[in-house]
A and B are shown apart, each in its own frame.
Chain A
């Protein structure tokens, strides 16, 4: 089992340049500590226009800063929105290769298509086309990284023969992932030989079913790249404290805040009826129990890493038992937890939980 940290870069209102800077500085400090503590990967999302929820609109810049301030931890571009109105594929290939070189070959490359109307509509992209765009990107990006020169005639873009430069340091290219929110995307990942970057916190039973099917199917894949990435990661929430009650209290504050912000996004399916988005793609599990009333006291949902070290070990073991290879942790939500508490939670996790895996 490997562990990563995952940044949305959530900024509390009222927005100010100082606040934006503080959120980024805090995240960089967490990344440096994670590097020291033995975490595997720092992931940063790409989002646009998502007030409070994510100000991570230039993750390649954030991850460059991470790469420059760390020595060992891998940098996860997770994930690049593969839609031409948002990122031209040639620029995606160039930036990723550059980041791989700057980081000394530490890049993990995630792909996605965006799930909110706020973003898709904001860039004027057609929701019916984003999945097709993504499919074209994941097939052509590896060629841009591995072929000396290439030309391409496709549905979403075409180019005459050119050398896309530079080429990445890792050979044949950085590991490829796709974010999995909608059910079924794990099958798309398997068919193409891509890693499953879970960004929706599926329940354990659902994760087990999806992971089994993914591993069965990837054996038969036709890889789009030069190497198959058959890893499965999941997203989780981490707040670890020696006092279990305190851990739950602070953890639920963090989880609940994140869940509220996530639920307030305007998902594509809500605004624009289409077969291309079959779920709302909410990310956070509700802390409310099934059958409970809205006013009831919430509990830590099954599998969430919000507790004392022993509780967190048990939660991670359950993810391990359903075939998950990596758990990536969100550490905060709009800074509701003070930075000192986040750092101490990371240290405690590394000291007491990591050795169990």
Chain B
């Protein structure tokens, strides 16, 4: 059984800090999400995950770019680069790096759910025949995505894997499991393309997208949950999981 090979201490550089596990749920309204999913080259893919997580076969990367209309911290945009994996039996997306365009939202996401974030300029544009997204860091483009020729799906057919974040927590360095609740009102699948991806900016050296799979656009409400479980990044989930909501 394959497991990640990244050194957790090295991964921890730049990880968020959770002062407490006592996080209340937060509902985000009017959330537009573009997810682009690609297979990636398997060489080196295990080194993008800590030993507590298992890579998928084939290895897969997802980019999520979201524009949130309403939140307790106002409107904001969030972009994430995630490596799909398994924590024990559960499908997860391990957040390698995210960007956010609003400091208040970024601070809350980092402190309460362990999002590893940098400030950046994020755009998400939905046209008739395509959805485009981009991220800029210091006026340098580090991501450009498209999903074209959208086909309507039933909302129930939209499937976005839940996140797992490496963060400094009151228990030490832990993988924080985030299971948001999605209420999808609209879903469309499109042809994906990645026109620009700078792995270094996404703390993902060696991540090489290789084969487009699917683009997914959703309009939804999303509830960021209370934290229930964390796990040790250097142990498999069956041995290293701790309950934190009691």
Contact = CB atoms under 8 A, between A and B. Distances in A.
A293 B243 contact: yes
Given A118-B58, A275-B153, A294 B237 contact: yes
B124 to A, nearest CB: 18
B238 A294 contact: yes
A275 B154 contact: yes
A260 B89 contact: yes
Interface in B23-58: 37, 39, 54, 56-58
Given A265-B57, A294-B238, A270 B229 contact: no
Interface in A255-277: 259-261, 263-266, 269-275
B157 A275 contact: yes
B157 A51 contact: no
A118 B59 CA distance: 10
A117 interface: yes
A81 B48 CA distance: 33
A332 to B, nearest CB: 15
Contacts of A280: 91
B159 interface: yes
A263 B86 contact: yes
Contact of B239 (A121, A263, A286, A295): A295
Contacts of A118: 57-58
Contacts of A320: none
Interface string B65-77: 0000000000000
A50 interface: yes
Interface in B191-246: 211, 213-214, 216, 229, 231, 237-239, 241-243
Contact of A121 (B153, B158, B189, B213): B213
B180 interface: no
A273 B216 contact: yes
Contacts of B211: 121
B117 interface: no
A286 B237 CA distance: 14
Contacts of A264: 1-2, 54, 56-57, 86
A13 B90 CA distance: 22
Nearest to A276: B157
Contact of A266 (B56, B154, B159): B56
A117 B213 contact: yes
A289 to B, nearest CB: 14
Given A118-B58, A121-B39, A266-B56, A261 B213 contact: no
B161 A273 contact: no
Contacts of B243: 293
Nearest to A334: B1
Interface residues of A, number: 28
A271 B239 contact: no
Contact of A294 (B37, B39, B84, B241): B241
Contacts, number: 79
A272 B37 CA distance: 8
A94 interface: no
A249 interface: no
Contacts of A49: 57
Contacts of A191: none
A270 B60 CA distance: 10
Nearest to B246: A293
A52 interface: yes
B58 A266 contact: yes
A230 B24 CA distance: 52
B187 interface: yes
Contact of A271 (B54, B213, B229): B213
B119 interface: no
Contacts of B37: 271-272
A273 B187 contact: yes
A117 B37 CA distance: 12
Interface in B135-176: 153-154, 156-159, 161
B60 to A, nearest CB: 6
Contact of A273 (B88, B157, B237, B238): B157
Contacts of A293: 229, 241, 243
Contacts of B86: 263-264
Interface in B105-122: none
Contacts of A266: 56-58, 60, 84
B159 A263 contact: no
A50 B157 CA distance: 25
* Max chain B Cβ within 10 angstroms of own Cβ: one of A49, A50, A264, A272: A264
Contacts of A51: 57
A275 to B, nearest CB: 5
A270 B154 contact: no
A275 B239 CA distance: 36
Q: Which 7 A-B pairs have the closest CB atoms?
A: A294-B241, A263-B89, A266-B56, A272-B214, A273-B189, A273-B216, A271-B213
Given A118-B58, A266-B60, A294-B237, 14 more contacts: A13-B1, A49-B57, A117-B213, A121-B211, A261-B1, A264-B56, A264-B57, A266-B57, A270-B91, A275-B157, A286-B89, A293-B229, A295-B241, A295-B242
21 contacts: A260-B88, A260-B89, A263-B88, A263-B91, A264-B1, A264-B86, A265-B57, A266-B56, A266-B57, A269-B159, A271-B60, A271-B213, A275-B154, A278-B157, A293-B241, A294-B88, A294-B229, A294-B237, A294-B238, A294-B241, A295-B239
Interface of A: 13, 49-52, 117-118, 121, 259-261, 263-266, 269-275, 278, 280, 286, 293-295
